[in-house]
Chain A
Amino acid sequence: MIELRNVTKLYGTTVALNGISIRVAEGELCVLIGPSGCGKSTTLRLVNRLVEPTSGEIFLDGKPVRSFVPETLRRGIGYVIQSIGLLPHMTVEQNIGIVPKLLGWDMERREKRASELLELVGLDPPAYREKYPSQLSGGEAQRIGVARALAADPPVLLMDEPFGAVDPLNREAIQDEFASIQRKLRKTVVFVTHDLDEAVRLADHVVVMKDGVVVQEGAPEHILEQPSNDFVQDFVGSDRVLKRLSRFSVEDHTEQGEPVPLPAGSAGRSYITPLSENPVRPVWKVDPSGLLLGLSVPGDDQLFHPPEPFWVHPSSNLREALALMLYLHVSHLPVVDEHRKFIGEVTAAQIYAITRRGVGHGA
């Protein structure tokens, strides 16, 4: 657990932080977001004492951080920065082993740990162990940065725009990977970004900052639903309704559909017909084992089998579901598992119901 209590930080006459208080619960991923210069990095660096507060107190698990020897404190906190800062004269394995080595782990244990972590961040250990940072792509280097921060299994991670330098194409993939790592490891994470999509994708808790103060905090869907003032409203943007939808999973909004087993002997029939010509509520057709085959309109047994994927998975979010509905011109989508076994359906009506809750507040 991390807590900043009434912390002020001055650089000369510049007020970087003006009496902020933030709490990050154990196992929670807290995102600090706000425009450049609002004090996000300073906040982060107070926690591992790269910066000392002008006034106020910072606690880690209830103990003031100033009661720790700084180096001891830092060895127990993973730290990832945007430029990564891999040491160019060390191999990937040696880079990952830096903190373990400082902690006195022997070579064998360090190598084993490096392999585990490479595995965890999705890089093949034999192929990457001996590489030097200059031989890595941006995305690979960033994964190594995360692996290095996790090396000594610290309970706390501080991440300062860790994926900011990764190109947009790879950024989403690396965010998703990190989200799944975090689901597994449940670290207490303070994560700085100025990218709202990233915050919405990863955060359990969002702290919106401006000029060294906290302007609003809460769950991302809450902030998107009810921006507390014009600044936050502007910051979250006019597409906040869509962004908010990405916080809701298909799984939580799957309704019981109506699977209709095909009559015997008709399983081979399929017609390539665009869904858009089917404005009415569809009947989902499954085979005897429950696999989705296609759909038909009520009162007509003809099986439609759209040429493109027309289903969503429980792990998708409602924003993705809505995008698919708009693309296919439909108001209903079947929900299937990874084997395409029918689970239920999501409907545009549900999505509208959720978005309606999110409008009409703020300005």
Chain B
Amino acid sequence: MRSPDAGWDTVRRFIGPILGLALLVWLCIPAAVRGPLEFIFPDAPEVTYDRASLVGLIGEHLVLVAVSTAAATALGLFIGIGVTREAGRPFLPLAQDASSLAQTFPPVAILALAVPILGFGFTPTVAALFVYSILPVVKNTIAGLEAVPADILEASTGMGMRPVERLMRTELPLAARVILAGVRTSVVLNVGTATIGATIGAGGLGRIIIAGLVRDNPAWILTGALAAAVLALLADRLFAGLDETFYSAGEVI
């Protein structure tokens, strides 16, 4: 099983996340980043953001992403499963079109639309992220469920599975990988998109970026953007790791 290259493969797989994590930790220590940032931006008045700790902002950011993605995954699964059942099938084309169309909608526009309804702050931002990230989940849930081979469905029904049993024991396990890929897209997308939530006061890493723009401080912009990018990378690697864990060794299809 284990080739001589396996050790090197492991190194390659973990080197990105480890470097990313190290970068993030480093960014969180003001004393450590001050020197290099002052060197890059000699004109900046104050290179470290002291109105909130970066750790706190990262925490807010992750809560924004986690809450919106969790809700989007739940509803996305519900819609995806619903429109692939016999009773919901008439709505399948609608769901497919809507999910393709809505992704062409800029997230800022959704945010702008959410403000008059939900006001400023955390809630409208989560709502906007939620709406935006349902789509990849719906799309992949439909794709995953529709790709379950007809003969496997026939065998499952023929053995006497009830519709719910068939969904839980046959369809979802077989669609899980594609659904997981949809959630991964949502999360990565949301880590980036969540930064704009700061424009309506949702907190998160967007806050330091916006502050940098307002105060004309490129060091803050760089810090926020770098942290958000590393978070997106780490989230992506996390899902890649999940995928590799569950779908290695030719166990599935």
A residues adjacent to B (C-beta < 8 A) = 48, 50, 70-75, 79, 81, 83-89, 98-99, 102, 132, 134-135, 148, 158
* Binary CB contact string for chain B from 162 to 203 against chain A (1 if under 8 A, 0 otherwise): 100100011001100000000000000000000000000000
Most B CB within 10 A of own CB, among A84, A98, A99: A98
B117 within 8 A of A: no
Is A98 a contact partner of B154 (Cβ separation < 8 A)? no
Among the 9-residue stretches B51-59, B123-131, B228-236, B245-253, the one with 4 or more Cβ atoms under 8 Å from chain A is: B245-253
Evaluate contact between B157 and A99: CB separation under 8 angstroms.
no
Q: Is the CB of A85 within 8 A of B151?
A: yes
Q: A132-B250, A132-B251 are in contact. Are A85 and B152 (CB under 8 A)?
A: yes
CB-CB under 8 A from A148, the residues of chain B are 159
Residues of chain B from 122 to 161 with CB closer than 8 A to chain A in the complex: 149, 151-152, 154-161
What 5 pairs between A and B have smallest CB-CB spacing? A85-B155, A74-B160, A75-B160, A79-B158, A83-B151
Q: Select which of B151, B159, B174 is within 8 A of A102 by beta carbon.
A: B159
- How distant is the Cα of A73 from the Cα of B165 in the complex, in angstroms? 16
In the complex the two chains form, is A134's CB within 8 Å of B250's CB? yes
A89 touches B174 (CB 8 A): yes
Instruction: Please give the distance in Å from B87's CB to the nearest CB on chain A.
Output: 17
Contact present for A89 and B252 (CB under 8 Å): yes
Q: Is the interface of B mostly helix, strand, loop or mixed?
A: helix
Instruction: With A81-B158, A85-B149 given, name 5 new contacts (CB 8 A).
Output: A81-B155, A85-B152, A88-B174, A89-B174, A89-B253
Quick check: A81 and B154 within 8 Å, CB to CB? yes
Given contacts A85-B151, A89-B174, contact A71 B162 (CB under 8 A): yes
Q: How far is the CA of A158 from the CA of B174 in the complex (A)?
A: 26
Contacts of B159 in A (CB 8 A): 74-75, 79, 98-99, 102, 148
Kindly name the residue among B159, B162, B169, B250 whose own CB sees the greatest number of chain A CB atoms within 10 A.
B159
Contact at A88–B252, with CB atoms within 8 Å?
yes
Instruction: List B contacts of A84 (CB < 8 A).
Output: 151, 155
Q: Evaluate contact between B253 and A134: CB separation under 8 angstroms.
A: yes
Expressed in whole angstroms, the minimum distance between the Cβ of B30 and any Cβ of chain A is 49
Q: Cα distance A72–B161 when bound, in Å? A: 9
A-B CB contact pairs (8 Å), 9 listed: A79-B158, A81-B154, A86-B152, A87-B173, A99-B159, A102-B165, A132-B251, A134-B253, A148-B159
Interface size on B, as a range, is: 20 to 34
Interface Cβ pair total, 8 Å cutoff:
71
- Give the docked Cα–Cα distance between A75 and B156 (Å): 11
How many Å lie between the Cα of A135 and that of B250 in the bound state? Answer: 8
Contacts of B174 in A (CB 8 A): 87-89
In the bound complex, residues from chain B placing their C-beta under 8 Å from that of A132 are 250-252
| Chain A residues whose C-beta falls within 8 Å of the C-beta of B253 in the assembled complex | 88-89, 134
Chain B 202-253 interface residues, beta-carbon cutoff 8 Å to A: 250-253
> Are A50 and B160 touching (Cβ within 8 A)?
no
Give the distance in Å from the alpha carbon of A99 to the alpha carbon of B157 in the complex: 11
Give the distance in Å from the alpha carbon of A198 to the alpha carbon of B251 in the complex.
34
Return chain A residues, CB-CB under 8 Å to B154.
50, 81, 85
A132 to B248, CA, bound (A): 12
Whether A48 pairs with B251 at a CB distance below 8 angstroms is no
The answer to whether B161 touches A87 (Cβ under 8 A) is no
Chain B positions within 8 Å of A135 at CB level? 250
- B169: chain A residues at CB < 8 Å are 87, 98
Known: A132-B250, A134-B250, A135-B250. A85 touches B156 (CB 8 A): yes
User: How many Å from the CB of B140 to the closest CB on chain A?
Assistant: 17
A98 to B161, CA, bound (A): 9
In the complex, the answer to whether B162 meets A87 with C-beta atoms within 8 Å is no
Interchain CB contact under 8 A, B170 and A71: no
Q: How far is the CB of B7 from chain A (nearest CB, A)?
A: 26
Interchain CA distance A70-B162 in the complex, whole Å = 9
Residue of chain A at shortest CB distance from B177: A89
Assembled-state Cα–Cα distance A71/B149 (Å): 21
- Complex: how many Å from CA A158 to CA B173? 27
Complex formed: what's the CA distance from A73 to B159 in Å? Answer: 9
Cα–Cα distance between A98 and B168 once the two chains are bound (Å): 13
A88-B253, A89-B252 given; A79·B155 CB < 8 A: yes
Question: CB distance B156 to A71 under 8 Å?
Answer: no
Task: Given A81-B151, A102-B165, A132-B251, decide whether A87 and B158 contact each other with a Cβ distance below 8 A.
Answer: no
Instruction: Give the chain A neighbours of B170 by CB distance below 8 A.
Output: 87
Given A83-B151, A85-B151, is A102 in contact with B160 using a C-beta cutoff of 8 Å? Answer: yes
Give complex CA distance A79, B170 in Å. 17
CB distance from B85 to the nearest CB of A (A): 16
Contact, CB under 8 Å: A89 / B173: yes
Looking at A70, A72, A87, A135, the one whose CB has the most chain B CB atoms below 10 A away is: A87
With the chains together, A99 CA to B158 CA distance in Å?
A: 10
Closest to B249 in A: A132
CB neighbours of A81 from chain B (8 A): 151, 154-155, 158
Q: Assess whether A50 is in contact with B252, with CB atoms less than 8 Å apart.
A: no
| B residues less than 8 Å from A48 (CB atoms) | 158
Smallest CB separation, A21 vs chain B (Å): 24
Q: What's the least CB distance linking B73 to chain A, in Å?
A: 20
Nearest CB on B from A157, distance (A): 12
Do A74 and B158 have beta carbons less than 8 Å apart?
yes
